[in-house]
Amino acid sequence: METRRQPIGIELVRRGIVTEGDINKALEYQKQHPNKKIGDILNILNVTNANILIKAIADILGENGMVLTSRDLKINLDDYISIDVLKRNKAIPFEIDGGKIKVCFADTANKRAMDTIRLLLLNKGLVMDKYITFESNIDNVLASLEGNSQNDIKSTSDISGLVDTVIKKAMDKRASDIHFEPMDNSLRIRYRIDGELYTVANIEKEKQAQIIGRLKAISNMHQEKQESQDGRIILYPDYNIRVSSQPNVYGEKFVLRLLKKNANVKGLFDLGFPQDEEIVSKSFNKRNSVTIMAAPTGEGKTTTLYSIIDYLNKPEINITTIEDPVEIRIPGLNQIEVDVKTSFLDSLRTVLRQDPDIILVGEIRDNETAEIAMQAGQTGHYVLSTIHTIDSVEVITRLRKMGISNYDIASTLATSVSQRLVRRICPHCAVERDFTQQEIDIMTEIGEKYGVPFNFQGKTTFDVVGCDRCNHSGYYDRIGIFEILIIDDEIRELITNDASTIKIKEEAMKKTYKPLVIDGINKVINGITTLQELNKKLVIF
């Protein structure tokens, strides 16, 4: 009979590698960083010698273990596997011995990652010999390799090579947009990363015309036109790149939007949506209703809609999306892209004749689209769309101003969801600390205003520091903060009777509705973002 293995933490204590107190600290840390394993956390907390710790963990798992550094790298990785693939699979090949290649993994239990790397190396005629190391070791080595492999933008003399370097570097840095901005004496290049703009280069003014010419050539734009144009770059197999040009006083400004072709759709809860299955099931009905996402431009509305669609997607359901443009292709969906010849309205009229169950309309922009979307929701379909408003209650006002009757809103609108994106604390460089009394007072006052008590017992926050991984910002990636208005019978009656949004909000507060700031503060208390970042987005003090 097979003996069941003890959890690693218990086994490490039994062997005298760490203490019970160390494990308790690690478990507390894990509450704030649920994706990190106990072994990695013990290493981060520096409770014992890293070499002793990894070798003990490896022995418990029946693996080979080592603390991997750049000095251990005895091969040129580009000859075997791309850095992008290694990043996704948290793995690094580091040495060849005969027909075997040694590979360090952050998680040897991840069978998919192991199989991916093993098969890639088999194609090179090499048998994989696996090792385990800390995830931070993998990240550090890959970060140093990226730094070494990236040529400085300004040092690239060839114009085609310079533009290519700018685009590829943006992809490596997780940028969503690249700005080429003519200035008085230079061409400024900036990346938008996690919603923030960072200057990456200032190019000599003499090169501006050549760079603009190259951008027009690869975007399929008219070279001679000095006016606004739209184009696309299709040179990079993993990306669709939308390009927009706009003349300014110093030349033509270009903005490139980088859209990854086969990006994975994030789960609703991964986006930061409240982990409450009852709220989710009530929010996203599947028949005879409309759900509307509300937020300013750039706050992740479309991403959330994709996640809702992914959550509802089943083989027996016919889902059609109408988008401008199609940002992520999802298997099993009928995705339509609007263009200059076809509007949202035209596409929606056609789609209704295609026997859909669920329809995603990228945006409700006018009265006619709003009316047809509401009619679709009244005739057995489930419609998802977006509107530009400040919060979920103001969706009602916006629909009223578009000419939709109170009766139609009350009978058809099931849910309106508002969201903002805040930056996550970088897990690699943040320094933990207690909340100040001033911070506690600010959050407590807001909680009292909305009748929501906050518990700060045992909770800590972080000072953001900055490192190479987060572009020295102290933040890495973003997460949504949400408010959800579910239209129940009482709110339906208020809408029908033309009640003000103030009255509607008062009634909603008695139920599950809580304003954006409440979800934001909960994410601050749970160590996901900072009060300063929340204030930057919502201006709360």
For the record, the structure tokens of 256 come out as 């490139």
Q: In this predicted structure, what is the pLDDT of residue 146? A: 58
Burial of 65 by CB count in 10 Å (0-12 exposed, 13-18 middle, 19+ buried)?
buried
Burial of 342 by CB count in 10 Å (0-12 exposed, 13-18 middle, 19+ buried)?
middle
- The pLDDT of 530-540, averaged and rounded, is 94
For the record, the structure tokens of 164 come out as 């290519």
Q: Per residue in 12-56, pLDDT tens?
A: 999 999 999 999 999 988 888 888 899 999 999 988 999 999 999
Helix/strand/coil for 526: coil
Does 325 sit behind a cis peptide bond, omega within 30 degrees of 0 on the bond before it?
yes
Please, which pLDDT band fits residue 151 given cuts at 50, 70 and 90? very low
What domains can be seen in the chain, in order of their start residue?
A: 8-144 (3.30.300.160), 155-260 (3.30.450.90), 277-423+478-514 (3.40.50.300)
Please, which pLDDT band fits residue 150 given cuts at 50, 70 and 90? very low
Q: Which is more confident, 204 or 281?
A: 204
- The pLDDT of 215-223, averaged and rounded, is 95
Q: Per residue in 100-136, pLDDT tens?
A: 999 999 999 998 888 888 888 887 889 999 999 999 9
> How much is the mean pLDDT over the chain?
90
Question: Rounded to whole angstroms, how far apart are CA atoms 397 and 100?
Answer: 66
Q: In this predicted structure, what is the pLDDT of residue 157? A: 66
Q: Where are the alpha helices (DSSP H) in 63-204?
A: 83-89, 111-122, 135-149, 159-172
What secondary structure, in 3-state letters, does 331-378 show? CCCEEEECCCCCCHHHHHHHHCCCCCCEEEECCCCCHHHHHHHHHHHH
Q: In this predicted structure, what is the pLDDT of residue 463? A: 86
Q: In this predicted structure, what is the pLDDT of residue 226? A: 85
Spell out the residues 6+ positions from residue 268 whose beta carbon is closer than 8 angstroms to its own: 280, 304, 307, 308, 311
Q: In this predicted structure, what is the pLDDT of residue 155? A: 66
Q: Pairing mode, if any, of strands 177-182 and 186-193?
A: antiparallel
Q: In this predicted structure, what is the pLDDT of residue 497? A: 97
Q: In this predicted structure, what is the pLDDT of residue 5? A: 56
Burial of 278 by CB count in 10 Å (0-12 exposed, 13-18 middle, 19+ buried)?
exposed
Helix/strand/coil for 17: coil
